[in-house]
Amino acid sequence: MRKHIPNLITLLNVLCGCVATVFAVQNHLEMAALFVFLGIFFDFFDGLAARLLKVQSALGVQLDSLADVITSGLVPGIVMYQLLGMSQSAGAILDVGSSSDGDMYWVGLKASLLPFLGFLITVASAYRLAKFNIDENQVSSFIGLPTPANALLILSFPLILLYHGNDLLNNIILNPWFLIGTTLLSSYLLNSRIQLFALKFKNWSFKDNALRYSFVIVSLVLLLTMKFIAIPAIIAFYIISSLINNLNGPK
């Protein structure tokens, strides 16, 4: 029975991803974010449980990635689809011409097709997870942005609109060029060759885990002071601190 505990936790991640998908399709993005956060929580603890119980398995590795495709791949893609649609409804799209029947066009395409660009995040996430499963160099660190981190970034935007919304933030987040740029950048980061540290503590020594402890402390401070606006800042800090750490020799 013990060997099945981590897989059961992973299946809870799958369930959260399915529920989040339904909410995202219905444009209830706050609830979608809640279940993605819960799914990521389970995603963290399934691996921890497997290590503590010493029941790591090839099945668990595959199941974990399949769960992430839903929770951290499909849902962010749908959320970006919704945000791109909202950017058009909000009138944020640039006036680049119209047809005789009044339909807007964007770079030669009807504007209604633009939101589908959001699913590039899903495609990039699936590709990253497939590579991760066959890459033996991502044990103590990651190569490219982990899908849960990318999901947190994308899901933070509707939460910022809801809880921190003002004219400046709304105009930035609902600007289609910002959303297009974010989609392209996140898709690149998912499959980039940038080495990023993992929050895996081999021991509790501060000397051996100074970067990890510093990241956790800074992240908590940012979350307490900035709330949801802190999430993009934390992701940026994660990438920048990893790059600096790489210059000093990855640990």
Find all residues with CB under 8 Å of 75, minimum gap 6, and list them: 17, 20, 21, 24, 32, 36, 151, 155
Q: Is residue 215 part of a domain?
A: no
Can you name the residues that pair with 109 across neighbouring β-strands?
A: 106
In the chain, how many domains are there?
1
Q: Is residue 44 part of a domain?
A: yes
Token pair, residue 241, equals: 């601190």
Q: Is residue 123 part of a domain?
A: yes
For residue 13, the enclosing domain spans 2-193
Structure confidence by residue, pLDDT tens digits, 184-204: 999 999 999 999 988 776 666
Global confidence as pTM: 0.85
Q: Is residue 107 part of a domain?
A: yes
Q: Which regions of the chain are under pLDDT 70?
A: 90-111, 137-140, 201-204, 206, 249-251
Q: Is residue 211 part of a domain?
A: no
The whole-number pLDDT of residue 92 equals 41
Token pair, residue 231, equals: 């999430």
The SS3 call for residue 209 is coil
Q: Is residue 249 part of a domain?
A: no
Q: Is residue 199 part of a domain?
A: no
The whole-number pLDDT of residue 240 equals 94
CA 149 to chain centre: 4
The whole-number pLDDT of residue 161 equals 93
The whole-number pLDDT of residue 89 equals 73
The whole-number pLDDT of residue 73 equals 96
CATH number at residue 63: 1.20.120
